Amino acid sequence: MPEPKDVRILLMEDDPGLARLFQKRLARHGYQADLARDGEEGLAMYDADSYDILVMDHVMPVYTGVEVIRILAARGPLPPIIMVTGTGSEQIAVEAMKLGASDYLVKDVDGGYFELLPSVIEQALHQHRLVEEKRRAEAEREQLLIAERDQRLLAETLAEVTLALASLTSSEEVLGEILHQARRIVPHSASSIALLEDGMFCIARSQGYEAFHPEQSQSGGMHSLSEMPFNRNVVESRRSLIIRDTAQEPQWVTFEVTNWVKACILIPICLQDRVLGLLRLDSDTPGTFSERDAERLRPFANAAAIALENARLFREVQRLANIDELTGTYNRRFFFELAERELGRACRFGHPLSAVMLDIDHFKRVNDHHGHTVGDQVLREVARRCHENIREVDILGRYGGEEFIIMLPETDAVGASATAERLRRIAHTAIITDRGPVTVTLSLGVATLNQNDSLHAMLKRADQALYGAKQAGRNRVCVVESGLWAVNGEQ
């Protein structure tokens, strides 16, 4: 309870004599009261200063006591108010209490109400303090309930997001889902994910920017860490960064597609001690993002990091399942899967398709004379040279042992024969191995797709052509087209 000297009282009384008596009686108990001579002056003084309690007569010029209470009640919570009424005006006091007055006093002829005033003031202040404490407690409880509900919803959302991300194995799907789910966590105008590799940021996926620049896209852009000081800061510190107003940041780097951005939040996507990339949320309104948003996004970024790593591992497992471990070419199973697709496409559109089967001549001698380690090195180098001398659309696979097979889309017999001859010649350069240089030759068979051909039938002809090249003396190309044979190469 405050000391009387610390309590600020505003007295509204139009009778000067009664006003002096009020002030004297209050002074005996340590209270000081400022005087307003009517309701209008009282309202002005209340607005201009801070008062702990109001004591007012009902009958005053301009505004009555009840009217003053009604005006104050319309503005918001009322301070403690004591209404003083004349004898026979109890109904006025009841109305004042209904409007929010704390208590009332009735003027009696003996002036007894002066004696009651200090204790009534003390009681009104005590009651008001209890009401305020209750209101604060209820407000705090409401805030706690809101915070608890918000945390529960966030936890549920994060659980759903984590489950959704964990169910995806494609990197493209994961990137899209991260941006889609980020909107549930923190509202924003546009977002992007930049993946970090060798000191360069590549914008792997973005969304929302087309609403501001329909003709441009964020995705695919490459930036070095030195170009993006804020990105560099986040990578080096591994901590979130909030830019509340880009106009106030001298180091803010803008591009045409992002010249509308007024606020930004950057969240590192980390897996243990590695920074995989950054999640960036942009807004066209300054002050959009807060530290609370960063807190909400951190566990989300952790889930995103795990999902991206899982997608990478899945992609690597798929690659290993499709690749011949020794040579790095497609294995037999995956080669046939891709070849069937190309055959279907060629038949559907009536386009040419050719196959080249090649074999390293006398490969057993390499293994016998130099050992299997050198033989493996020769296989790897032949595969590498083949890769370098075919197109990206061509399909190279290991058929078995020292045999390789190549599918050439959109290639007729002439083009396939030229490719085969080019491959035959690349083997002439000695292969450097652990046991010194080794020279090998290649025999190659070429077949083209005939009408109503199956993959098996076409590859069988390529195999027969390869056998023909072997029979003709090796180190040559044999082409079979429409049942006709042609052999070329070194005689």
Residue 118: CB atoms within 10 Å? 16
Q: Whose structure tokens read 């590859």? A: 459
Cα dist. 203→196, 207, 265 in Å? 9, 11, 16
**Residues 438 and 374: beta-carbon distance below 8 Å:** yes
Q: How far, in Å, CA of 357 to CA of 478, rounded?
A: 10
Helices 332-349 and 455-471, interaxial angle, to 10°?
110
Q: Which residue in 408, 429, 403, 430 sits closest to 419, CA to CA? A: 408
Of 417, 464, 418, 467, which is closest to residue 443 (Cα–Cα)?
467
* Dist. CA 388–CA 422, nearest whole Å: 11
Q: What's the longest Cα–Cα distance across the chain?
A: 142
Active site residue 402: yes
d(CA 17, CA 276): 82
* Helical H segments across 53-194, by residue range: 65-75, 90-99, 112-166, 171-185
Residue 211 DSSP symbol: G
Cβ-proximal residues to 96 (8 Å cutoff; 6+ apart), any chain? 58, 65, 66, 69, 81, 83, 85, 104
For 52, which DSSP code? Answer: S
Cα three-residue angle 379-458-325, rounded to 5 degrees: 25
In one letter, which amino acid is 237?
S
Alpha helices in 216-371 (DSSP H): 229-237, 291-322, 332-349, 363-370
What are the C-alpha distances in Å from 483 to residues 57, 334, 461?
121, 29, 9
CB 375 within 8 A of CB 363: yes
- Residue 282 — φ and ψ, nearest 5°? -120, 150
Instruction: Tell me which of 402, 403, 410, 421 is the catalytic residue.
Output: 402
Sheet order of strands, 484-489 included: 395-400, 403-409, 353-360, 442-448, 476-481, 484-489
d(CA 436, CA 215) in angstroms, rounded, equals 58
For the annotated catalytic residues, the residue numbers are 402
